[in-house]
Amino acid sequence: MGKYTLIVTEKPDAAARIASALDVLGKPERNQKSGVPYFRAQRNGEIVVVPAIGHLYTITSRDKMRGYPVFDYEWVPRWQAEKGASKIRTWLKVISELAADAESFVDGCDFDIEGSIIGYTILKYACGEKQQVAKRMKYSTLTTEELQQSYERLMPKLDFALVEAGLTRHEIDWLYGINLSRALTTAAKEASGQYATLSTGRVQGPTLRFLEEREKEILCFVPTPYWKLTAKISMNGTTVAAEYPETLETLKEATELKEKSKAKQGKIEAVKVTESLLSPPVPFDLGALQSEAYKLFHLTPMRTLTILQRLYIGALISYPRTSSQKLPPSIGYRSILKKLRANPAYNRHTAELLTKKDLKPNEGKKIDPAHPAIYPTGNLPQKPLDDAPRNVFDLVVKRFLAVFAEPALRQNVDVTVSISGVPFGFSLARTLSEGWMKFYKPYVQVKDDALPTLSEGQQVYVKRVTLKEHYTQPPPRYNPRSLLQKMEKEEIGTKATRAVIIETLQERKYLRGTDNFAVSALGFEVVEVLQKYCPIVVSSEMTRNLEERMDLIQQGKENKQAVLAGAVETLKTATAELRTKEKAVGVQLSQALQRARLEERTVGFCPNCKSGQLLILHSKKTGKRFVGCNNYFQGKCSTTYPLPQTGMVKPLANPCKSCGAPVVSVYMRARKPWRLCLNPQCPSKGAAKP
């Protein structure tokens, strides 16, 4: 076998696409060695494309003891540090063997921090220090055209500034995670004698703090009453609700105004007509797309990211892990629109945009030096997509179309009505020109009101005036969308890691609920411990400062060793404080863990005896689990419900609508969770739809 160029890619699907794009016939030879796939392509010589399977190397402590603090670490193959990663050993062996016969090397991994680290570590450790001579592919889509251009215009060397920033981020996150998590876990285990994984980290801590602060606001909130005065009025056959413009804080004032406004007729005092242009939306960056997908389809940020990755690998969209809101002309606006036109769903709107002399997107301010905003490549799915991927793909396409469209024009009418001298007001609006909104339907919804003839001095008929008591509301709990937005606003985490952090907080049982996050007892205690003994660990300011310094490394303006040294000093102080207070910390956390375990088993109030709690229990005789009332142990209640014996069971807050019995969510491996009413005699036949 002659010499060849070895291209290292991030995943097998990407390797197949790159090999297919680069082979002159588009038919690379697929090979396999010890279960590891690789491809041979011909293009001005032989090319071998070999994939990784994500990160093949990781960080571990040189000292194999399980204590803390830990500051001496090294990068090693994952199979040496992680259980269940044995196939990584074979994978690296095959890559090393392929590297031995290669004459040149190319890093073909995704052009971002994670991809750069994957390529760099493979070239350095598995290929024998080839990171110094390797060239770099840079692409934002996996389309044939862009991959060919990327190979023809190889960067002469690796993106070392991006690599340094990535290595720094991984090493700092590892240092924070391993030291703080071990400190908490060790303290709890020493106090209770039971092992339970407790974790926190550089981004996890401040994020949990946001949630804890909001939960305290909600728990401490005291509702106060206020009153709203509303008049139902009719004019020219149209009935509207007009409101007194101010919040009424006392019942006396509200009642007096209501009595004063008792009349059969009123008069229009003022009509203000304005027109407003609504600019098209800006292109999607990852955070905005995750936020929109949650709002529209109720997809979690992590689920959306997984779907986007699949669409990217399928060459249907551009690289999703971007913070850019820019679409450069180099992506070929017209070419993309022409390809999308082949889909009947987009034919009419793409045809309309193609008649424009100039295609200019309405761009946002955010810039990402590595990639443009998320956009469709123009390629259409070769086979039908499932519901969620289809929805996300459609959203990306329609957002792309909308950014090239004209502004929408809305007319707003603000009316002031006097009833016995008491002012009331109402507003009506309608769309004069849809502009971009017709391209973005059904993802934009605006209300168009019927506008009757209105003029100052016009008489209106008063149907009734009502006074209604309201109460001030606490701030809402964070949901996946609003928490993602909060993290982005506070500039903690990265576009690629924020969704993972949210899932980790849920997995650690620091949160309850999947939509509106309530902080669990355990979550409260973890934040309290960290705030008491090492407050800097939950400081968003500290985390933001580190993010800024790592960005400066990426720009070549900051030194990796200086950033690491600062992080280590902070950690030394924090871990020393936790060590001296280990006993107190352990007692506090072990008690919280006990409450968390009970909280996890609690299904809700017993619907029969009304005073007991329903708990998930195990039979001493059979070992089977079931739900029973804790009043059983006092001989007061014998309520029980059967449970499925496989899968993870999570209690849900609301009882069954049909029978009032408790409802749980059952999680089975490789299946979507499903809701189950525990009452076998339930009219809904026991199970609600998944």
Positions annotated as catalytic residues are: 319
SS3 of residue 498 by DSSP = helix
d(CA 576, CA 582): 10
Residue 296 and residue 443 in contact, taking contact as beta carbons nearer than 8 Å: yes
**Cα–chain-centroid distance for residue 353?**
32
Q: How far apart are the first and last CA of the chain?
A: 55
d(CA 416, CA 131): 72
Helix, strand and coil content of the chain, in percent to the nearest 5, comes to 40, 20, 35
CA 454 to chain centre: 47
- As beta bridge partners, residue 233 has 240, 462
CA distance 11 to 109: 8
**Cα R_g (the chain), whole angstroms:** 31
Angle between helices 204-220 and 540-554 (to 10 degrees): 150
Buried b (16+ CB within 10 A) or exposed e, 217-255: eeeeeeeeebbebbbebebeeeebebebeeebeeeeebe
Q: How many CB atoms lie within 10 A of CB 446?
A: 12
* 534: amino acid identity, one letter: C
Spatial separation of the C-alpha atoms in residues 417 and 301, rounded to whole Å:
46
Place of tokens 């024998």: 128
Mind giving me the DSSP string for 384-442? Answer: PPPHHHHHHHHHHHHHHHHHTSPPEEEEEEEEEEEETTEEEEEEEEEEEE-TTHHHHTT
HSE-CB for 443 with a 13 A CA cutoff? 25
Total residues belonging to the chain: 690
Structural contact between residues 321 and 347, judged by C-beta atoms closer than 8 angstroms: no
Q: Identify the CA nearest to 378 among candidates 310, 314, 307, 317.
A: 317
Query: Does residue 51 sit in helix, strand or coil?
Result: strand
Token pair, residue 117, equals 């680290």
Are residues 352 and 396 in contact, defined by beta-carbon separation less than 8 angstroms?
A: no
